Structure 1
């Protein structure tokens, strides 16, 4: 039979209220008495009944986090920062991946709400969040991170300067003499991808050429095909801007494959296997990427990137959520985090 708080009180020789104070971390218990209660808890194997506690207090001390992919390094860093804040508040984080599927996002949010989480942090996959309206009206706060909610839902939101970062990278390549700058972006329905395309295009102005743009879900075959098409144009690109970390890594592999296969890109293949106007590492054209990634600084040349702060995004989103949980009734906050350019060599190659 499962031991009760009453059994602990009897074993420790204290009042039931004293056990309750120790279990819930409340003050007012002599240290020696508290230690006696904890020894009785360990000896009996007592654990508090969370279901009953929820019914009494009306909250579960849990937070739901829905992100695109728990395995993605960007979202892993964001999720870890959220978890640190949640644990610091004495709560538990429930995390799940939407896999960029709006239906799955909606079902995950509904599942978390059915489990009565105290609040939600959502990286949205879709554009319709009307399904959240009932939960918001019932008092469950939500914060959106990385991407904003759809029309009609105004809640706390934490984004990065996607358009500004893309413009920063493009201007950097322009400053190093490039006028034919290609762009590989994620699917255009994704908010971040669309904003980065906007920044790239605005920085290029009249130099923009739609033949140098590809927007689709990243895949090795797709990136290779796009690069093959662009690099065989009558005026091929001399520089490449990639719209996220996965695209950067995929493009690096594809460019290395082209060089090792001896195909010409922006120049001619030389006797030692390098490409004229390129590098000896398989990167034939200048490159800048949006998002930093592991080992980017150890490649030769290092990969120039526009770095976001996923940990800062997760931390701020979680802090905003707990402000709402503590009773903050102010207007929704819309935070845009700055980005920074990290030159490492790949973006500084001349045309």
Structure 2
């Protein structure tokens, strides 16, 4: 007696086809796995007819070689370089990534980007993961103040280059922006425009960029024979919302400053919102240029620089270290500084 027929709608779904293997291609083409391997390596010892059969089987099965596994078997690296940044929402880091990707692409490498949200533990996890995947090298915008987790004791011979902030606790190449010089020049421009009372909105002093830009702000005052008031400084804002709140606090005082210097573009935008809300006409200066800065209805001075070049220089340093190879004499750590210019946007 025949078994009852099960309607098609009630039959269990067939499992999805497994990823085709080298042996599957060999079986389809009627050759050995070694012959398939030779074809994929473009070995001249394989006849044209056999090559055509193998390549047809590759296309029909949708076979893709597992480069990661192959590289591990051969003891090679992955052909990838990592870029670990602190805040992808900041346009500076997207431009930095584009610059780094350009150089990586020129060297036949692919860039993988990770975001730490300013968390040192997240940074350690991302770097460890990249190293475990045999990344050729890593560019890091460090989140913490100490960077020993990026040293050879932790990650072995994988080359590391820092961007935006200098190394602490390790010897490593780095690419910086002229934080001090740019802040001094922008503050000096405000002073030259007649402002003798200038507030400061900046990152926490534990951050290298925040400390250097505050130092530049102070230097410009000292050179002009002025002393900024502590009551006009807020060294904690980190985004647009906190910068707006800090600016409102400074500008609502009994004797508010006539201008504000901000240490990055997000803080400048937060300060602008506060100025608009209070209709105070306060002049603004800030590090980092940003789109439509020239369309604001208050005078804005910005510190401009090529963020793409920061990424390009960091990637070039990394490519140089990669080319030296594991075990090669590393030479002294190098420090590159990208220059800044001051651009004034009048109303």
Per the normalisation by structure 1, the TM-score is 0.81
Q: Does the Cα contact within 8 Å between 1:184 and 1:243 map onto a contact in 2? A: yes
SS at match of 1:90: coil
Partner of 1:319: 316
Query: How do residues 100-179 of structure 1 correspond to structure 2 at under 5 angstroms?
Result: 100-134=118-152, 138-151=156-169, 153-179=170-196
- Distance across 2 between alignment mates of 1:286 and 1:70: 28
Residue 137 of structure 1: CA displacement? 6.9
Deviation, 1:170, is 0.7
Larger radius of gyration: 2
Cα distance in structure 2, aligned partners of 1:178 and 1:168? 14
Deviation at 1:131, TM superposition (A): 1.9
Question: Does the 8 A contact of 2:245 with 2:274 survive in 1?
Answer: no
2:338 paired with 1:337: yes
Specify the alignment match of 1:227 in structure 2: 247
Question: Are 1:250 and 2:247 counterparts?
Answer: no
Change (3 A) 1:258 1:334: same
How far residue 33 of structure 1 moved from its aligned partner, in angstroms, is 9.5
Determine helix, strand or coil for the equivalent of 1:117: coil
CA shift at 1:130, angstroms? 1.5
Count, aligned residues: 319
Unaligned runs of 5+ in 2: 1-17
| Preserved contact between residue 305 and residue 341 of structure 1 (Cα < 8 Å) | yes
Residues 43 and 230 from structure 1, CA distance in 2 versus in 1: closer, same or farther, beyond 3 angstroms? same
Question: Could you tell me which residue of structure 1 aligns to residue 84 of structure 2?
Answer: 66
Q: Deviations over 1:9-68 (max 9, x none)?
A: 98498955642434xxx9999999988865553233221122023320421111121101
Tell me the TM-score normalized by structure 2.
Answer: 0.82
Mean CA deviation greater in 311-320 or 136-145: 136-145
1:308 aligns with 2:326: no
Paired residue for 2:292?
295
Secondary structure at the residue paired with 1:297?
A: helix
2:232 matches 1:212 = yes
SS in 1 for 2:200: strand
Q: CA–CA distance in 2 between the matches of 1:228 and 1:257?
A: 9
Q: Which moved more, 1:123-132 or 1:84-93?
A: 84-93
Asked if structure 1 preserves the Cα contact closer than 8 Å seen for 2:128 and 2:155, the reply is no
Instruction: Give 3-state SS (helix, strand or coil) of 2:205's partner.
Output: coil
RMSD (CA atoms): 3.0
1:171 is paired with a residue of what secondary structure? helix
The 2-side partners of 1:232 and 1:311 are apart by 38
